[in-house]
A and B are shown apart, each in its own frame.
Chain A
Amino acid sequence: MPESPSNEFAVLRVVAVKGRAPAAAVAVAECLGLSVEEVDQRFTDLVDRGLAKSTPGGLRVVGPGRERVAELVAAESAQVDRAAVAALYERFCELNDELKEIVTAWQLTDADTPNDHTDEAYDAAVVARLSALHDRARPVVAAVADLAPRLAPYSARLDSADRRIAAGDHSYVTKPIIDSYHTVWFELHEDLIGLAGLTRADEAAAGRGA
């Protein structure tokens, strides 16, 4: 297999961001548009190099792996056009405020009432809002990929969640663990914070990153 440091970074970062590699390499391969064989090989490399360990729940990045990810994220961030990232991040944050409201409306019909998903008109209206937001997010996500090619797969991942929702699979709105719209969006947010050279805690304190 040809040595491709950017793919190594991509795989390590996905595992780190998700906290745990999904049980099969195939899920990570799908995320990144890589072959299952390559991802399997990279998993083995990560374990061999002491950056990750195998656990019953899946591959877990350990201390040295986390340090390595932080270095790679910092290096990536140092290479990009900071002003362009900052401008994009601001646009993302505006969309993020809306996304959070939509996702909350999906879960709660009001502050105290969980959405039991029996009201089809209500659900359709929320899905419509999400879909309209996705249309407006697409150019932003595409522009992110232009700045940092490693983040290019986010476009396809969000499109995929959006398609599944439109086809009626509503678990792809907010369900954790699977690549639901909220899951992918939040991982993108994490990567944008890294790319902008910011930290999650600072962003949260500023009311943007929680």
Chain B
Amino acid sequence: MSVLVQTADAPADRFDPVEILDGGSTACRATIGGKAWSVNRMRALGLPVPPAFAVVTAECDRYYASDRTLAEDVWSHVVAGVRHLEEVTGRRLGDPAHPLLVSVRSGAAVSMPGMMDTVLNLGMTAQVEAGLAAETGDAAYAADTHRRFRELYRSVVLGDEADAPIPVDPWEQLRAAVCAVFDSWESPRARTYRRHHGISGLNGTAVTVQAMVFGNMDDRSGTGVLFSRNPMTGEKPAWGEWLARGQGEDVVSGRCTPQPLEALARLLPDVHAELLSASATLERTHGDLQDIEFTVESGRLWLLQSRSAKRSAAAAVRVAVEMVDEGLIDPATAVRRVSADQARALLRPELAGTDDSGSDLVARGEPACPGLVSGVVVTDPEEAEDRADAGEQVVLARVTTSPDDLHGMIAAAAIITEHGGSTSHAAVVSREIGTPCVVGCGAGTVTALAGRTVTVDGSTGQVWLGVREVRDVEESGLADLLRLVEWARPLTPLAVYRTAEFRSEHDGGAGIVDLDEAGEEWRSALVEGRGAQGAILETDEGVAEALRAGAAFVVVPFLLPALLAAVHAHEAAGAQ
């Protein structure tokens, strides 16, 4: 496979060495990189984004042509770019009274390993730290910002010469960072990656330089995240979290507990209103649920990033269907927005009678890997292995997992832990081995459950006493799913029937092959019939293969997962 990336919509030499990203730039992604492109686009929508400029990709080419030196005319454009940032922010690079700090990022048309990562807080010096401490009234924050800068700069810019001193002149820092971005384009890893993926036709990387804003400046400052609709349920209105006097990392790292967005509405109603209006603009422009990072500096709103939000399966379906009703997207787009796996997640069997949240619920944690399994709770990984070998169904319960628990985890039918979240070791490993898993059930769970038989629901994070009965979900009872079914049908040549409704007179039903009977040979069996049934068709791979083999129809327990898999496979094939 080979990817030839479009280099420019217009000849690259039309652009100055530096593009100011104030919404007026006409440069395309290949010229200024994806990050810069989206900053410029948000500015073009009239949204408040910290000022930024980009050194264009053609300059990366020139840098190498002139033996890895930054031409003086390029540097003077960079200086002019910084002056623009200074003008907009009222701050100056290296000025202790009102210091401008910037982020420096690489930005090729496609992201690739080996490229320089972000340097944050560039412009930091001992004097600036003192100034920032005075300005924010938070010496610890200023010192921490300085430390983070030193660490990032050392590893990202100095790299192998990590013992070299960090320049005390912010302009020197900037020049070195720009050169480091260009150098990283030809790093061995970036070259290996481009060669391996057959990526050619690129000029190089752009460099984005953006002013940093401070959410910890005063009592009318803070930082937060806003979703244009609730990402768990897909419901309106917008949903978000706010951390007064917080910097971006505080929210992401979970170090501080944020407040609901209403706290911002009470503190700064105008900013709150502006934020909601920006959220609506971004959602309308992108036609999708947005995840927006923002900072308020002294009562002024800045949007840092907006991207399509991660969402639950339920939210994916609801947002897709409601956006069609609101005229934001067409039905075909809605179908593309929902993956077959999300549809499967909504159609997974449920526990019978879960709504009587009775006393049998013995533990609750974070769902890490879906699936519904019963077994006896064992607390020692070796015992789990031995009893599983003897044919018993065991649930491994641990305070937290260590590397040496791996073999017990593989042997267990389900895993539960007391500590850790959805990114913990137990969660990561359970997803790799496909074992239902609930993490973070809280202290004491292991002792309380040892030796008892439980049912683990890895989709909801619940653990029930005893062997619970499981109930199938009726697809025909879920209106949003049925609408997606109707929208998906015309987008694929493959006809899909529900097992319960399939009759032999349907679609030449006589020509149906049972792939379960074919076992390992299911691929060749597919070619023999007009249509097919079998468990493999409940996977993306099975449906894609049926399409490739030219099957006219498939018969499956649920319509939507198969239809979505068929539409996505059909479109992926068409794109190649």
Contact = CB atoms under 8 A, between A and B. Distances in A.
B431 A190 contact: no
Interface in A15-72: 16-20, 57, 60
Interface stretch (B6-14, B416-424, B477-485, B517-525): B416-424
Contacts of B540: 116, 118
Interface string A148-171: 000000000000001001111000
Contacts of B154: 139
Nearest to B401: A210
Interface residues of B, number: 65
Interface residues of A, number: 57
B423 A124 contact: no
A75 interface: no
A124 B432 contact: no
Interface stretch (B38-46, B90-98, B189-197): B189-197
B110 A135 contact: no
Nearest to A205: B419
B345 interface: yes
A21 B398 CA distance: 22
Contact of A128 (B112, B404, B433): B112
Contacts of B342: 112-113
Contacts of A130: 113
Contacts of B189: 131, 162, 166
Interface string B152-177: 10111001001000000000000000
A19 B403 contact: yes
A166 B407 contact: no
The B interface, classified by DSSP as helix, strand, loop or mixed, is: helix
B341 A177 contact: no
A177 B162 contact: no
A138 B131 CA distance: 33
Main secondary structure of the interface of A (DSSP, over half): helix
A204 B420 CA distance: 7
B350 to A, nearest CB: 15
Interface in A95-125: 97, 100-101, 103-104, 107-114, 116, 118, 120-121, 124-125
- Most chain-B CB neighbours within 10 Å: which of A112, A162, A166, A176? A112
Top 10 A-B pairs, shortest CB-CB distance: A210-B420, A131-B113, A110-B310, A19-B404, A204-B400, A204-B419, A100-B423, A132-B117, A210-B424, A112-B313
Interface of B: 110-117, 151-152, 154-156, 159, 162, 189, 192-193, 196-197, 253, 310-313, 316, 339, 341-342, 345, 381-382, 399-408, 410, 417-429, 431-433, 439-440, 443, 540, 568, 572
